[in-house]
Amino acid sequence: MNAYTKTASSMATTLSNIGRQRPEQEVRVICTACSGSVLGPRYDVFVAGEYYTVREPTLQQLRQGVTPAELELEPIDPDQEDFD
């Protein structure tokens, strides 16, 4: 999946969720990495018992109640990742 497909998919998910009330879910930001990327900072987050690496738009969607499964996020193993 390339960046354009991912962006279009995220936009479609966001638009389809407008007006839909979602249950709140706890989203904990574990680490923020600012690398000067045009995509902005990278966040390592803990949601629903799993760790994920996301960018700002996806973090906002998670905070709005969109589940990681709906966003097709793949969990990461915190023991294998380099948390800064």
Q: Report the domain count for the chain.
A: 1
pLDDT at 82: 60
In a domain, 74, yes or no: no
In a domain, 14, yes or no: yes
**Burial category of 61 from C-beta neighbours within 10 Å (exposed 0-12, middle 13-18, buried 19 and up):** buried
Tell me which DSSP letter residue 76 carries: B
In a domain, 77, yes or no: no
pLDDT at 79: 80
Within 10 angstroms of residue 30's Cβ, the number of other Cβ atoms is: 14
pLDDT at 15: 73
Q: Supply the range of the domain harboring residue 38.
A: 3-63
In a domain, 32, yes or no: yes
pLDDT along the chain (84 residues), means of 10: 70 70 82 81 93 93 92 89 56
pLDDT at 74: 95
In a domain, 52, yes or no: yes
pLDDT at 68: 94
pLDDT at 37: 76
Q: Which of 4, 16, 50, 10 is nearest to 30 (CA)?
A: 50
In a domain, 46, yes or no: yes
In a domain, 71, yes or no: no
